[in-house]
Amino acid sequence: MHDLLIENAIICDGMGNPAKAGSLAVKDGRIAAVGDGDFGPAVETVDADGLTLAPGIIDLHTHYDAQLTWDSSATPSSSLGVTTVVIGNCGFTIAPCKPDHRDITMRNLTHVEGMSLAAMREGIDWDFESYPEYLESLSRRGVVPNVASFVGHSSVRTYVLGDDASKRAATAAEVAEMKKLVADAVRAGAIGFATSTLEQHNGENGVPMPSRLADDHEMRELTGALGEVGRGLFMLTKGNGSPVPYLEEIAAANGRPVVVAAMFLDPSDPERVFNEMAEIGAAHGRGREMYGQVGCFPLAMDFTMRHPYPFEAFQAWRPAMEAEGGDDYKRVLADPSFRAALKAEAKVPGVPNRFSDQWDQLEVVEVADAANAALEGRTIAALAAEQGKEPFDCFLDVGLLEDLQTRFTVRILNADEDRVLNLLKHPQAAVALSDAGAHLSFLCDAGYGLHLMGHWARERGDFTLEEAVQAITSRPADIYRIKDRGRLVPGTHADLMLFDPATVGRGKKRRVQDLPAGATRLDTPAVGLHGVWVNGRRTVGPDGLLTDCGKPGQVLRDFADS
C-alpha cells in the first residue's frame, strides 16, 4: 500500500515534457509511480481536481543560515512552493564561528544582509562552533524544507584571522588553515564554497566584509580545495575585481562548476550584464562549467533613512555609514559638503549596481507623521520638481523631516522586462536571486518561482508552463548536483507542489511581525498554491503552512560528484 496517492492531476514532470493528466503515488518519502495507471490503495488519497502537480521549487540563493536555528520552516519560503533551499550564499554564514566572534558576525549580517540584530541575538542558539557542528545542529533541530549549505568565505576568514579578517591579506600559513577548513567542510557535506568580492558588500560601519580582503593567492587556494576534494561548486557574488575571464581560470584549474551572481540588468550600465553572460557562455563552450544567477523580479527595496541600503554603493555615502546609529548621523545627512559629494558621484556613468538617476523609481510609501500624508505615493522626482530642489536634497530632506522614519521604496535593477527576458532565456542562466532570509525589512522575493510561472509564463507568455517549472526544479537540481530531486520520476524524493496555473503567483506585499524580539519583515503570500509536500509529507495546504507538518526536510550532504 502506498503512503500517498494524488489523483486527477495534470502532471508537469519538471523536465520540460508536455504536462498530461495522471496520478502520482508515494511510498517511504519517494515517488513510487507516476502516470495514468491504477496504482492501488493508499493510506491517504488527495483528489487534485485538475490542478497541476509539479516538483517543489529549489531556491539556489537564500540566506537562512541564522534563521534556521530558530525557524525550522524557513519562513516564508516553505509556504511559497519551495521544498529545497541553498543557504550560505555570498559566503555570509554563521559557521565556523568562535564564541568571541559571534557578536561581530551578527553585526556584520545586520548591515550586509539587512537582518535584525535584536532578532539574531534573541533567536540564534549557538550550540555549534565548527562548520560540521553547524550541519549537525540543523539536523538535530530538524527542518521543514530540505537544506543544502555552502561553507562561507567570510566566516572561514574570521575564524582564522579574527579581528584582522576585514583589515589585511592573509599569510601563507593562514591561507593553508583556511583551505583545510574549506576542504573539511566539503567532505562533511557542504555543497561548495561561497564568497563575495562585491564592493557594496560591507559590514558594520562600512567595513568591507572579510572575503573582500582576499588576494589572488587566497582565492585560488580556497577554491582549489574543491578540486582537490573532487566535489562542490564555487559560488561568487562578483565585484569589479573578479572579471569572468579570471573566474574561468579558476573553473579550468579546479574542474568544478562556477556560479556567478548577481546578473541583474543595471540601468547605469545596461550592456555589462549581457557582455558578462556572453563571456560565461563562451567559457562554457570551452569546457568550463559556468553559470550566471539571474532574477525574474525587478530588484525593489523598501527602506527608511535609518538604514538606506540602496545608497551604500556610493563611496560618498561612507561618512553616513560610519555615523549610522550615532549622534552625528543626522548632521552628516544635512551637511552640504556630504550632499555635494553624492551629487557629483551620481553623475559618474557606468558604475555597476548603484542607484543612478532613478528618482522616478523612488517613491514615498508611508509617512510617519499624518501631517505629511500628501507625500505618500509620490516619487522623489515629482516632489523635487514641485519643490524646486535637486532630487538628492529633496530625498534627504524628507527623511530628516520625519526623524528618519519615512518608508521609501525604489526599483534599482531589472526593471526593463523585455531585456530581462534575454537573461532568463540565456543557456547558462540559473534562475535564482530570491535572497530569501535576508533584507527582510527591504524586500521579499522568496516567491520568485510562483512569479515565474504566473507572470512570465501565464501573463506574458514568454515561457510555457513546462519551461518555467523546469527552470526552478530540475535545472537547478542538475546544476547544483542535488540528487534525486526536482523531477517527478519514480525513485526520486517526493518533493511536490500542487497549484492552479490560472491563478498562481504571489500576493500583495505586506508587513508582518513574526521575528524574534518583535522584529518585522516584508511578506508576499502565495496565490493559487494548494499544496506542498516535502519527502512525501504535506507541509502546506490551501490556507498556507501547516502547523502540524513536523520537520520532514533533510539537511543534504551527499551530492553528485560529476
Q: How many CB atoms lie within 10 A of CB 163?
A: 10
Name the residue with cell 557594496. 200
Average pLDDT for 385-396: 96
* Cα–Cα distance measured from residue 242 to residue 280, given in angstroms and rounded to the nearest whole number: 13
**What is the fold, at CATH topology level, of the domain defined by 57-298+414-484?**
TIM Barrel (3.20.20)
DSSP conformational letter for 374: G
Condensed to tens digits (0 to 9), the pLDDT of residues 133-180 reads 999 999 999 999 999 999 999 999 999 999 999 999 999 999 999 999
With vertex at residue 392, the alpha carbon angle to CA 390 and CA 393, rounded to the nearest 5 degrees, is 65
Q: Assign 200 a pLDDT band (cuts: 50, 70, 90).
A: confident
What H or E segment, with its residue span, contains residue 487? none
Condensed to tens digits (0 to 9), the pLDDT of residues 63-89 reads 999 999 999 999 999 999 999 999 999
Q: Is 531 exposed, middle or buried (0-12, 13-18, 19+ CB in 10 A)?
A: buried
Distances (CA, A) of 234 to 191, 241, 248, 507: 9, 17, 11, 34
491 vs 444: which has the higher pLDDT: 491
Average pLDDT for 236-244: 96
pLDDT reading at 508 higher than 80? yes
Average pLDDT for 95-108: 96
- Report phi then psi at 453, rounded to 5: -70, -40
* Cα–Cα distance measured from residue 227 to residue 253, given in angstroms and rounded to the nearest whole number: 8
pLDDT value at position 30? 98
Domain boundaries, the chain: 57-298+414-484, 301-411
Average pLDDT for 114-143: 95
pLDDT reading at 102 higher than 70? yes
Tell me the average pLDDT of the chain.
95
pLDDT value at position 324? 87
Condensed to tens digits (0 to 9), the pLDDT of residues 310-348 reads 888 888 999 998 998 888 999 999 999 999 999 999 888
Tell me which amino acid residue 319 is: P
* Cα–Cα distance measured from residue 421 to residue 197, given in angstroms and rounded to the nearest whole number: 26
Distances (CA, A) of 482 to 85, 86, 142, 149, 151: 11, 10, 19, 11, 16
pLDDT value at position 562? 59
Query: Which is nearest to 235 in space by CA: 277, 159, 178, 292?
Result: 292
Q: Identify each DSSP E strand in 166-263 by its residue range.
A: 192-196, 233-237, 258-263
Number of H helices, E strands in the chain: 17, 24
β partners of residue 35: 23
**Residue 193, SS3 per DSSP:** strand
pLDDT reading at 238 higher than 80? yes
Condensed to tens digits (0 to 9), the pLDDT of residues 338-368 reads 999 999 998 887 676 677 778 998 999 999 9
pLDDT value at position 353? 65
pLDDT value at position 522? 84
Taking a C-beta distance cutoff of 8 angstroms, is the pair 439, 412 a contact? no
Condensed to tens digits (0 to 9), the pLDDT of residues 405-447 reads 999 999 889 989 999 999 999 999 999 999 999 987 778 899 9
pLDDT value at position 97? 98
pLDDT value at position 535? 98
> For residue 13, what is its C-alpha cell?
514532470
